[in-house]
Amino acid sequence: MQIPPKLWFQLERLKKAFRSAVGEPSPSYDTSHRMCPNCRALIERGASVCPFCGEKLRAPRSRSSSSAGSDRILGIIPIPSTATSALVAVTIALYGISWYMTAASGAGQLNPASALGGINGDVLFRLGAKTPAIFFGQWWRLVTAIFLHANLMHIGFNLWCLFDLGPTVESLFSAAKFLVFYLVAGVAGFLLSLWWNPGGMSVGASGAILGLIGVLIGASFHHGHLGREYRSQLVRWVIYIFIFGLFFAVDNAAHLGGLASGALLGYLVPEGDAETRAGQNLWNALALLSVATIVASFALMALQLR
């Protein structure tokens, strides 16, 4: 029995994401075909018109003949795609600013941990950490806190996970959906954290990153046996993270909120680009709204910083 082209394509994408997540090398697939963006059938790569639906197609992008392993930094760290790169850049920039402010305030002389990249709590508060100030109108802290980190180990672990998970989620869904998922999961995580511990201060991208894991878990329910295998790997990862959080000062409430919201999004939102023009416009608008929300949150943070 022949597998429908759309289902075959989705299974191949999920298998590629699974191998990337567990560190297995990706096999070389036949690149003589591509998917029609309208009906999602497999067609000849050089076709200008889809023979199944008649959709006019743009010329395909040329493929580089890069050697194996060239898609990873030092052969280990996956090179992130565009949306992931932007989030990584903003996160690193905010960490640099927070470290400079910590050193400038004199905390580096009083707190030896800052010499190893530790950030002063007052600096994190000023730059937009999740705090009870949210109850007094500073809603933007739910967003800015996603991009702040307390020390080098904190940001290092989160960026490692983002480098690995970000491109996987983008390839399965799209850059627009990825941006929406990341922001929604991060905010949902801090909302649950605010309800669980209203008086505490929290920062970090781990809630949003757990949201990306949740997205992959949610999507795995649509892929039968292969999805179960992939899901078991992700669930073990989540268990390890929560066990780690029981022994260290980790905001497990933010982790749970991000994971739950991500799983719901991954289960409900179809994979790949939207199949209709209206759907594409909707997700592009949601992505632009997400970017505007992030920019506005940083602007409001800068205003209160002055």
Number of domain units in the chain: 2
Known catalytic residues are: 206, 255
**Residue 72 within any structural domain of the chain:** no
Q: What is the pLDDT of residues 253-298, one digit of tens each?
A: 999 999 999 999 999 999 888 878 888 999 999 999 999 999 999 9
My answer on whether 44 and 120 are in the same domain is no
User: Which of 25-29, 143-147, 187-191, 203-207 comes out lowest in average pLDDT?
Assistant: 25-29
pLDDT at 223 over 70: yes
My answer on whether 297 and 244 are in the same domain is yes
My answer on whether 9 and 98 are in the same domain is no
**Residue 186 within any structural domain of the chain:** yes
**Residue 121 within any structural domain of the chain:** yes
Binning pLDDT at 50, 70 and 90, where does residue 215 land? Answer: very high
**Residue 25 within any structural domain of the chain:** no
**Residue 91 within any structural domain of the chain:** yes
My answer on whether 2 and 122 are in the same domain is no
My answer on whether 272 and 138 are in the same domain is yes
Domain that holds residue 171: 81-305
My answer on whether 138 and 271 are in the same domain is yes
My answer on whether 94 and 213 are in the same domain is yes
My answer on whether 172 and 111 are in the same domain is yes
pLDDT at 93 over 50: yes
My answer on whether 195 and 255 are in the same domain is yes
My answer on whether 182 and 151 are in the same domain is yes
Binning pLDDT at 50, 70 and 90, where does residue 67 land? Answer: very low
Model pTM? 0.74
What is the per-residue pLDDT for 19?
54
Q: Which candidate, 285, 292, 125, 271, places its Cα nearest to that of 202?
A: 125
What is the per-residue pLDDT for 13?
57
pLDDT at 170 over 80: yes
My answer on whether 36 and 144 are in the same domain is no
Mean pLDDT of the chain: 80
What is the per-residue pLDDT for 275?
78
Q: What is the pLDDT of residues 107-131, one digit of tens each?
A: 445 455 555 678 989 999 999 999 9
**Residue 147 within any structural domain of the chain:** yes
Are 123 and 95 in contact by the 8 Å Cβ rule? The answer is no
**Residue 238 within any structural domain of the chain:** yes
What is the per-residue pLDDT for 18?
53
**Residue 67 within any structural domain of the chain:** no
- CATH number of the domain at 103, please: 1.20.1540.10
Binning pLDDT at 50, 70 and 90, where does residue 9 land? Answer: low
My answer on whether 154 and 116 are in the same domain is yes
Q: What is the pLDDT of residues 15-35, one digit of tens each?
A: 555 555 445 444 443 455 666
